Structure 1
Amino acid sequence: MLLRNTLSDYRSALDPSDADALGIEAAQAVERFLQHREGATPTPLVSLPALARRLGVESIYLKDEGHRLGLGSFKALGGAYAVIQLVLELASKQLGRPVDVSEWRSPEVAAVAAGLTVTCATDGNHGRSVAQGAQLVGASCVIFVHAGVSDERCRAIARYGARIEHVEGNYDDSVAKASSVASERGWIVVSDTSWPGYERIPHLVMQGYTALLREALAALPNPPTHVFVQAGVGGIAAAVAAHFALVFGNDRPFLTVVDPARAACLFESAKAGHIVKIPHDKPTVMAMLECYEPSLVAWRILSRVADAFMTVEDDEAIATMKDLAYPADGDPAIVAGESGGVGLAGLAKVAGDPALRAEIGLGSDASVFLINTEGATDPVLYEKLVGARPEDVIARVPSKT
């Protein structure tokens, strides 16, 4: 099902705070920060011409975040960036002078970071990024994980020196627990979701994501006409929607937000016209998107500048993983985790339905932009679902990609 955004009362302009956090100047600040990070090279923008022909569009370009900063996910850009920015701000206050991003590895900044503990809840990828950021500056880190986070993902977080705290329940339960414990102990919550009174830090997390959009726009031969982007609490979808709205104005691409059918909190919020917390039912295989209440900031943005909302089923997400791993007609093989190719799953669903194509103007001349938001962040599960080890899929990728 596809739902057009009819929230006309909201669709006027971005909130000034959202525009400041996700505009061109903010993205340039992230680019400058990345110049001081080891291994911070642009991820591939992959053209998929055979898939475009199959789906009846002019072109498909996929930004492959499975290569990002050793974490295998776009989340590497958000949590670590927010942690380091917060430490720099605190150092500026304590030292009584502006502390530039070029100083983030200095002894003065390390001394400030040594007295801090950062924390968050995670499905896996955001927690790794926060833990990596804490390790880079020398802060302590505690990550709260819910029952659905695999042992492999917990071990991946712990490799960055974080302490893991297990929480009964789902992602939303772990968010509440992290916030409660942090309040008691004076820790800093670095969350990728937001709620009333807590927006600044999620803005920093989302600001980090704009780096991948700047890279993509610099590499695309032409601006996209359509974007399909997956959503959990909505952070990456909102970052894309806001940044493209600010860059392109009225000429922005048609943006469709894709939710897992079993955790469709943004879809249901759009249907209701306000934020909805949906009940937890059967878990979805799209583990990084299994969220049951949207981020306040993400909803505010998407209610104004997203064009449509839709859902995909678990079997559609798995089929997309296989399509990317075993491409036809010369397209490169791509390793996409359970949540990584969900935007493509949405595109495929719309492309196969003439009525939906007409509704969003997806013609044969469409140029589609997608993001593979994660590689095989749980290699054991990836092999089980795809039938191949991620390293064997990677071995088939031509070097030119």
Structure 2
Amino acid sequence: MLIKNSRARRAAYPAELKAVMSIEQAERSRTWLSHWDQLNAGPTPLRDLPKLAASLNIAELSVKDESVRSPLGSFKALGAPIALVRLILRTFPERNLDALALIDGKYADLLRDFTVISATDGNHGRALASAARSFGCQCVIVLHANVSQEREDAIAAYGATILRIAGNYDESVEEAARLAAANHWTVVSDTSYEGYEDIPRDVMQGYGAIAAEIVAQANVAPGQQSPYTHVFLQGGVGGLAAGISSYFWEFFGANRPKFIVVEPVQADCLYQSALQGRAANATGSVDSVMAGLACGETSPLAWRFLENSVDVFMTISDDDAVTAMHQLAGRETGDLPVVAGESGAAGLAGLAVLRANAALSEEAGLDATSRVLVINTEGATAPSVYQQLVGESHESVLARQTAWLAR
């Protein structure tokens, strides 16, 4: 399914949005993140995939590979630590804490009884648990029934207390809020709701680091024409899409690229938001192999940014995502192999679905001259699931990637 967004604007970045999220704050977040030892040094790779581009009949295809951002394996490593830093600075204003000392764990004695909690499908909880351990505070993670044991173990490895519920992701969000209120803990979530916007804003601002790296790697200046005609962004509650589109919108202004948001057909909350003109809920089961995108409720704060910046909202099937995982693994295409998890491949999956349908391509403005950017938001964060879906271990794909780069 596809819907063109009649509310999308091509103008300067609005002042009312800049007051909430800005390049200036994204750069501050990026500076802080550079001091966290759980992130690999330097920007993640921006790769060209010319053979896959040719097979899709577009001019260029670039992939920003967040799978190698950190040992955490996903872009979520950018959001949770920034939100936790800013939360702690706000909580203890009288202490005049230094952000870099906080990241280095120098306030662990102060924070030993400070507890944060979050619901997660896996990646956000893992990043929050890692940041909490680095900074010296306590972390509780609520998991819903469909989160695999493999993902639970990966979170628990960072010292978080794990609580399981029988429901879905949205019910785990409700349970985290209930537990926080009952125990005087603080929810650190990437989705907003009434009265809860500061922390989701900080999470989204952390994701702006991805866009900052891309414009530096593409060597473009503010206000210039975008090197990409189209940018495909994963949906979920909308946080990643808002964090990246807002940065690009401020940077490129009216010359911004077209943004296309992709989400599972059974977790279509952003698609429904575009239909209804307000932050809305999904109409499907929400269950999806794309675990990181299996969200039923749009973040109202994220929607404030997406409503006027995203040109197209679309949905894909689980099979589309798995096909894209295979394509990025590179065995068939001959391009550089890339390890992309189920959600990480969604952007490419959306592009492939559109290029397979001439009418949909035309609606999205895609043609043989298009220069497309997709973001691989995660690697094999559940290695056994990756091997089952791709038919090859992620270690094997990485070995082929190493050999390809050494040619």
Same fold, judged at TM 0.5 (above): yes
Equivalent-residue separation in structure 1 for 2:274 and 2:333 (angstroms)? 38
Contact 1:90–1:112 at 8 Å: present in 2 too? no
Equivalent-residue separation in structure 1 for 2:131 and 2:292 (angstroms)? 20
2:304 is the alignment partner of 1:304? no
C-alpha deviation, 1:332, in angstroms: 0.6
Contact 2:210–2:244 at 8 Å: present in 1 too? no
C-alpha deviation, 1:278, in angstroms: 2.7
Could you list the per-position Cα deviations for residues 138-193 of structure 1 after superposition, in whole angstroms to 9, with x for gaps in the alignment?
Answer: 10000000001000000000011000000121100000000111011110110010
C-alpha deviation, 1:282, in angstroms: 6.6
Q: 1:316 to 1:209 in 2, by over 3 A?
A: same
Q: 1:329 to 1:122 in 2, by over 3 A?
A: closer
Q: Secondary structure at the match of 1:104?
A: helix
2:327 is the alignment partner of 1:326? no
2:178 is the alignment partner of 1:194? no
Corresponding position of 2:405: 399
Instruction: Please identify, of 277-286 and 380-389, the stretch whose mean Cα deviation from structure 2 is larger.
Output: 277-286
C-alpha deviation, 1:330, in angstroms: 3.4
Structure 2 letter corresponding to 1:29: R
Structure 1 letter corresponding to 2:210: L
Corresponding position of 2:85: 84
Equivalent-residue separation in structure 2 for 1:258 and 1:285 (angstroms)? 14
Corresponding position of 2:384: 380
C-alpha deviation, 1:19, in angstroms: 2.1
Q: 1:68 to 1:21 in 2, by over 3 A?
A: farther
Could you list the per-position Cα deviations for residues 19-45 of structure 1 after superposition, in whole angstroms to 9, with x for gaps in the alignment?
Answer: 244321012101210231223431111
Q: 1:139 to 1:365 in 2, by over 3 A?
A: same
How many residues matched?
A: 397
Equivalent-residue separation in structure 2 for 1:14 and 1:187 (angstroms)? 36
Q: 1:307 to 1:29 in 2, by over 3 A?
A: same
Could you list the per-position Cα deviations for residues 177-236 of structure 1 after superposition, in whole angstroms to 9, with x for gaps in the alignment?
Answer: 001110111101100100111100001101111111111111126621101111111110
Across the aligned residues of Structure 1 and Structure 2, the Cα RMSD in angstroms comes to: 2.0
Equivalent-residue separation in structure 2 for 1:60 and 1:237 (angstroms)? 19
Q: Secondary structure at the match of 2:150?
A: helix
Q: Secondary structure at the match of 2:336?
A: coil
Equivalent-residue separation in structure 2 for 1:107 and 1:231 (angstroms)? 33
Contact 2:339–2:380 at 8 Å: present in 1 too? yes
Structure 1 letter corresponding to 2:405: S
Structure 2 letter corresponding to 1:296: P
Contact 2:118–2:173 at 8 Å: present in 1 too? yes
Could you list the per-position Cα deviations for residues 258-311 of structure 1 after superposition, in whole angstroms to 9, with x for gaps in the alignment?
Answer: 010111111012112222223452721111100111011111211111111001
Corresponding position of 1:356: 360
Equivalent-residue separation in structure 2 for 1:12 and 1:41 (angstroms)? 32
Structure 1 letter corresponding to 2:90: E
Corresponding position of 2:6: 6
Q: Choose from 142, 159, 162 the match for 2:160.
A: 162
Q: 1:17 to 1:30 in 2, by over 3 A?
A: farther
Corresponding position of 2:229: 225
Corresponding position of 2:24: 25
2:75 is the alignment partner of 1:69? no
Corresponding position of 2:374: 370
Could you list the per-position Cα deviations for residues 41-66 of structure 1 after superposition, in whole angstroms to 9, with x for gaps in the alignment?
Answer: 31111110111111111111101111
Structure 1 letter corresponding to 2:86: Q
**TM-score, normalising length: structure 2:** 0.93
Corresponding position of 2:260: 256
2:167 is the alignment partner of 1:183? no
Equivalent-residue separation in structure 1 for 2:235 and 2:261 (angstroms)? 6
Instruction: Please identify, of 100-109 and 360-369, the stretch whose mean Cα deviation from structure 2 is larger.
Output: 100-109
Q: 1:251 to 1:105 in 2, by over 3 A?
A: closer
Corresponding position of 1:212: 210
Corresponding position of 1:278: 282
Corresponding position of 1:269: 273
Structure 1 letter corresponding to 2:23: I
Equivalent-residue separation in structure 2 for 1:20 and 1:69 (angstroms)? 30
Q: Secondary structure at the match of 1:228?
A: strand
Q: Secondary structure at the match of 2:338?
A: coil
Equivalent-residue separation in structure 2 for 1:223 and 1:14 (angstroms)? 18
Corresponding position of 2:60: 59
Contact 2:259–2:310 at 8 Å: present in 1 too? yes
Instruction: Please identify, of 105-114 and 272-281, the stretch whose mean Cα deviation from structure 2 is larger.
Output: 105-114
Structure 1 letter corresponding to 2:52: L
Structure 2, unpaired ranges of 5+: 220-225
Equivalent-residue separation in structure 1 for 2:138 and 2:313 (angstroms)? 39
Equivalent-residue separation in structure 2 for 1:252 and 1:400 (angstroms)? 35
Structure 2 letter corresponding to 1:399: L
Q: Secondary structure at the match of 1:343?
A: helix
Structure 1, unpaired ranges of 5+: none
Contact 1:14–1:301 at 8 Å: present in 2 too? no
Q: 1:3 to 1:280 in 2, by over 3 A?
A: closer
Equivalent-residue separation in structure 1 for 2:15 and 2:391 (angstroms)? 47
